[in-house]
């Protein structure tokens, strides 16, 4: 997955479904695995037992560090989220 795909997936989940903030930690780990680095990404990746508010602070700081623009309409997010779910189902990664 690319940085954009990972980020749109997490953003769509936050907006469109029930959201578990631990997914932000997983997002940070995946982004680091792609080779991106920032202090805020490392902090977020280590927040397994932190409250949602703290995870969200470091998520948005990481988004700013990466200079990502994730402003999408709800229809765009729905389409992206549907594609993500379909890909996971095809790859048998859907839990």
Instruction: Say what the pLDDT of residue 74 is.
Output: 67
In this structure, are residues 46 and 61 in contact, taking their beta carbons and an 8 Å threshold? no
pLDDT tens-digit series, residues 35-79: 999 999 999 999 999 999 999 999 989 999 998 876 666 677 677
pLDDT at 95 over 60: no
In this structure, are residues 78 and 9 in contact, taking their beta carbons and an 8 Å threshold? no
Residue 45 buriedness (CB in 10 A; 0-12 / 13-18 / 19+): buried
Instruction: Average the pLDDT over each of 9-13, 31-35, 68-72 and give the range with the smallest value.
Output: 68-72
* Predicted TM-score (pTM) of this structure: 0.71
Instruction: Say what the pLDDT of residue 61 is.
Output: 95
Q: Which of 21, 16, 28 is closest to 72 using CA atoms?
A: 16
* Spans of all domains in the chain: 3-90
Which residue, chain included where needed, has tokens 């977020």? 44
């Amino acid at each position: 997955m690319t940085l954009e795909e990972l980020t749109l997936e997490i953003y769509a989940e936050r907006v469109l479904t029930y959201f578990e903030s631990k997914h932000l930690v997983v997002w940070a780990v995946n982004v680091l695995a792609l080779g991106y680095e920032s202090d805020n990404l490392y902090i977020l990746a280590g927040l397994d037992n932190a409250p949602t508010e703290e995870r969200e602070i470091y998520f948005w700081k990481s988004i700013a560090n990466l200079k990502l623009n994730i402003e999408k309409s709800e229809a765009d997010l729905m389409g992206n989220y549907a594609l993500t779910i379909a890909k996971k189902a095809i790859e048998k990664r859907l839990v």
